[in-house]
Structure 1
Amino acid sequence: MAKMVVSLSVVPLGTGSPSLSKYVKRVTEVIRGSGLRYKTGAGFTDIEVDTYDQLAQLLAKIEAALAEMGAQR
């Protein structure tokens, strides 16, 4: 199967702060820890995945990490 390149932009809501840098840092750590190839840009991170399941697992980990940091959604 061919690889897919997904552009991801995450905007945590309900954080109580206008600063997003710590959330961006955490999401980048989760992506790095996944072992997937990625490239960060100004507004998006491009990620190479092999399957939709691989993407879904990564998104679930990102969502959980942000929830642990207090993001409401």
Structure 2
Amino acid sequence: MTPSPSSRLHSNRGGPPIGVGTAHGDDIFEHGGFAVHFFDRALVDALADGWTLDEVHAFEEGDLPRQLWRVTRTRPR
């Protein structure tokens, strides 16, 4: 299987429930059996280092609502 030249990353952009649940460090909180990593824009940009950052799309999901980013990046050839 050939790795995809693009990657999508869903990340929480700091909305609710940041700080709710058990803290595990590095902005990771466990709540309801799920561990959530709260990314700020600086971390999204750092994780894209060496990639082309094609899109950062903000959206909300769920009952809280959860504020997320859908990040699309491609590996330069």
- Name the structure, 1 or 2, with higher relative contact order (CA <8 Å, separation 6+): 1
The higher radius of gyration belongs to 2
TM-score, normalised by the number of residues in structure 2: 0.37
The structure with the greater share of residues assigned to strand is: 2
The structure with the greater share of residues assigned to helix is: 1
TM-score, normalised by the number of residues in structure 1: 0.39
